[in-house]
Structure 1
Amino acid sequence: MRHFTSFLFIMALLAMSGCATLNSVNPFPRHIYSTPGSAQRQPQATAPRSAKTNPYTVMGRTYHPLKTAAGYAETGYASWYGEDFHGRKTANGEIYNMYALTAAHKTLPLGTRIRVTNLENGRNVILTVNDRGPFVSGRLLDLSYGAARQLGSVDRGVTKVRIEAIGTVPASRPVHASASTSYHVRVGAFANRDNAVNAHRTLIRAGYKGSRITTISRNGRTLHVVQAGSYSNRDRAERVRSALRPHFPSCYIVG
Structure 2
Amino acid sequence: MDKRTNFLSLLTLLAFGLSSCANTTPTHTVTPAPRSSVANPPASSATTTLPNPATRTTTPTITQPVNYQTRGNASWYDLGVHGMKTASGEVYDLYKMTAAHATLPLYSRVQVTSLQTGQSVIVTINDRLTDNQTNIRLAYDAAKRIGLINQANRLVNIRLLSTP
TM-score range, shorter chain: 0.5 to 0.7
Q: Secondary structure at the match of 1:90?
A: coil
Give the alignment partner of residue 77 of structure 2, picking from 74, 77, 81: 81
Q: Within the alignment, does 1:102 sit opposite 2:98 as a pair?
A: yes
- Structure with greater contact order relative to length (CA < 8 Å, sep ≥ 6): 2
Indicate if the aligned counterparts of 1:69 and 1:109 stay in contact, CA closer than 8 A: no
Match of 1:173 in 2: none
TM-score for the superposition, normalised by structure 1: 0.40
The equivalences for 1:193-204 within 5 A come to none
Counterpart check, 1:150 vs 2:160? no
Structure 2 residue corresponding to 1:125, chosen from 118, 121, 128: 121
Q: Secondary structure at the match of 2:84?
A: coil
Which of 1 and 2 has greater Rg? 2
User: Hey, what does 2:161 align to over in structure 1?
Assistant: 166
Greater helix share, structure number = 2
Specify the SS of the correspondent of 1:147: helix
| Partner AA of 1:145 in structure 2 | Y
Q: Distance in 2 between matches of 1:158 and 1:98?
A: 22
One-letter amino acid of the structure 2 residue matched with residue 148 of structure 1: A
Aligned position for 2:132: 137
The number of aligned residues is: 109
Q: How high is the TM-score relative to the length of structure 2?
A: 0.62
Instruction: Mark the CA change 1:157 to 1:130 in structure 2 (over 3 Å): closer, same or farther.
Output: farther
RMSD over equivalenced CA pairs, Å: 1.7
Identity among equivalent positions (%) equals 40
SS in 1 for 2:113: strand
Task: Determine the C-alpha separation between the residues in 2 that align with 1:81 and 1:168.
Answer: 23
More strand by share: 1
Note closer, same or farther for the CA distance 1:95–1:157 as it changes in structure 2 (3 Å cut).
Answer: farther
